[in-house]
Structure 1
């Protein structure tokens, strides 16, 4: 059996009416709240306060008092002013000309010539001499003249020295060293011959032989003849 509802009891038919009534009430309440007037509460009578009134402050008037400076009395007036005339004459300075007149004689001091002191060059070693002494017969460049000099001195010693002397003196067999020093002076002569040898007789023989060296062309330093020191070692073979 189907149950049927009463159409009057169906509330959905009145939903639109209820909505409209709710909107009207909400609008009415809102309007009433806006139109309602409110008043501030007053507590007693405090009078009227003027906020724009300016505060007036009494400022005392001060006066600047400057110290009184003591007045200095004016200087006393001189009794009488005397005008003194300057009678002193000023001497004028006369500037004399330094130019000489052609007619006047000019005194010239005597010119003393100073003699140049000749530079003294001491003896120079054969190893550093600019121009080496020239042994007779040697030619060529500076180095060739130097090599030729040493070669000719050795040749002279071997040819003139008595090779049998070391054996006659009974020296032990072996090599014996002999050192020879001499100088070629400014004139090219062999002087100051010195020697070191294992025996006095050998030393005497060496001095005699080296003094027989021929005269040579002197060595030069800075273009001037100088003494040249020369040293050479020899080795003697004793059997």
Structure 2
């Protein structure tokens, strides 16, 4: 019995090719679907049909003005009472002191000048009469006697601070004080290597006695005096 279909028209022979073509089409569609990208149409923030003016005027918010209440009306009394002057009240009459065209201008000869004698600032070297240390009243050279008595006073009251000995402190403390117009000591200034030594030097100066003040043109004046105190460990 002969076959009904011809051998060259059978589809089974091409099934492998058709399967490969179908798989390729499916993979292509899947890849295209995964990689497909869409973009939204760009629209401005005011919309596509919004027309803006060249200059934008800011909108001013409404401002509420609070007006103060009107002042109270002053009620005038119907009857005005006239009060008599009080004799105990003394009126102060103020006269103008500003010059005008009728003011007479005094000449130089009519103006009285008061001569004020100014005393220049003095130093220990330029003072006419140096301060007198107690015990130097009868000395011919009171300047040298003052310095000698100062050295005696320092040696008499000198005491090396124990803290300075323990710390090994030594050096010079430069002192400057002022003999005031009444003979007392003030205006102490000092500069030294350590505060402990400065405190001891200030203690020595604080024990100075009251002196006879120095004079310039027969007037008592302030006289500064400087001296160093040496602290030296044996």
- TM-score category, normalised to shorter length: 0.3 to 0.5
- Structure whose alpha-carbon radius of gyration is higher: 1
* TM-score, structure 1 as length reference: 0.47
* TM-score, structure 2 as length reference: 0.48
